[in-house]
Structure 1
């Protein structure tokens, strides 16, 4: 079983709308390359 990673060790991105940094989430594992927004709210503002 793989070891747990610390949150600080996860990859981060900057949101295209609000400019905040957000970290990798398990639900984004398959399409992390295409994730641009930190939330649905920011995606809707664009």
Structure 2
């Protein structure tokens, strides 16, 4: 999340559970075909 310029945080209350939040910036550029990943491909 941080590598993509976003944030992540958790709101938690005992007995009520937890809510996980995250934000990511909107992408304004289209990726080149060479930089996109095909279905099933993984990257570490």
TM-score (norm 1): 0.23
Higher helix share: 1
Q: Which structure would you say has the larger Rg?
A: 2
Higher strand share: 2
TM-score (norm 2): 0.23
